Amino acid sequence: GQSLEQPSEVTAVEGAIVQINCTYQTSGFYGLSWYQQHDGGAPTFLSYNALDGLEETGRFSSFLSRSDSYGYLLLQELQMKDSASYFCAVRDVRRDDKIIFGKGTRLHILP
Amino acid sequence: EAQVTQNPRYLITVTGKKLTVTCSQNMNHEYMSWYRQDPGLGLRQIYYSMNVEVTDKGDVPEGYKVSRKEKRNFPLILESPSPNQTSLYFCASSLTGEGYTFGSGTRLTVV
């Protein structure tokens, strides 16, 4: 089978740094994606890691390690508007390219 | 503006009454996909399409149909809706199969 595991909730302070982890159990996928979803809104694409290592996009960075079956999303200089749910996702090549999402991590930011 | 448009945004219907949720994208994307989102279950893929006339089942296809007669449109059809199909539905599209752009969502209630 395949699953992506994320913490259900994370709490951090405004201005701080937070890391949201995603571990997965699949042996064949193209890369790891991250999406952000605010309450009442649609998911929006944040980042994609095709290769191992760190990808940086402004305050957000994403990391992938295929050998460790692990990835994370790093959010720096947290702002209140970053309060949202964050989902990791993979496209599974061994399951006809189906997209599998993690159940999401709710990020709470304290002032 | 590049976007995925789905309609309607809200729909209340009765059990057994056939309905269609439309989805259209203006980005000439090859990949299109339908998801449902339920509390505690995250996003689950219903059907997806990698090109015109090519559709495949996702993780939860039962009770749904799709068609991809043109690249831009990917309607979701519920032939005989049941209360367990009450959910928030998202259509999404992608050029490469990664990094999807989502529509605004359709909140469906089946009574």
Q: Is the model's pLDDT at B66 over the cut of 90?
A: yes
Size of interface A-B (CB pairs under 8 A): 58
Give bridge partners of residue A89 from the DSSP assignment.
A33, A101
- The first and second tokens of residue A66, run together, are 């295929």
Output the pLDDT for position A25.
82
Residues B35-59 have a mean pLDDT of 93
Query: A30 vs B98: CB contact, 8 Å cut-off?
Result: yes
Closest chain A residue by Cα to residue B34? A99
Query: B48 vs A98: CB contact, 8 Å cut-off?
Result: yes
Of A50, A99, A104, the CB nearest to B48: A99
Sorting pLDDT into bands at 50, 70 and 90, what band is A94?
confident
Does A48 reach chain B within 8 Å, measured CB to CB?
yes
Does A106 reach chain B within 8 Å, measured CB to CB?
no
Sorting pLDDT into bands at 50, 70 and 90, what band is B50?
very high
Query: B42 vs A87: CB contact, 8 Å cut-off?
Result: yes
Strand ranges (E), chain B: 4-7, 10-13, 19-25, 31-38, 42-51, 54-57, 65-66, 76-78, 87-94, 101-102, 106-110
* Beta carbons of B54 and B68 less than 8 angstroms apart: yes
Question: In this prediction, what percent of chain B has a pLDDT beyond 90?
Answer: 91
Sorting pLDDT into bands at 50, 70 and 90, what band is B2?
confident
* Residue B58, min C-alpha distance to chain A (Å): 6
B-chain residues near A92 (CB < 8 A) = none
Query: Residues with Cβ < 8 Å from B66, sequence gap 6 or more?
Result: B34, B46, B47, B49, B55, B74, B75, B76, B77
- The first and second tokens of residue B37, run together, are 């989102």
Q: Is the model's pLDDT at A1 over the cut of 70?
A: no
Sorting pLDDT into bands at 50, 70 and 90, what band is A28?
confident
Q: Is the model's pLDDT at A11 over the cut of 60?
A: yes
Query: A48 vs B99: CB contact, 8 Å cut-off?
Result: yes
Mean residue pLDDT of chain B comes to: 95
Sign of the alpha-carbon dihedral angle for B52, B56, B59, B62: positive
Query: B59 vs A33: CB contact, 8 Å cut-off?
Result: no
CA distance A11 to A18: 8
Residues A2-8 have a mean pLDDT of 87
Query: A43 vs B90: CB contact, 8 Å cut-off?
Result: yes
Query: B43 vs A101: CB contact, 8 Å cut-off?
Result: yes
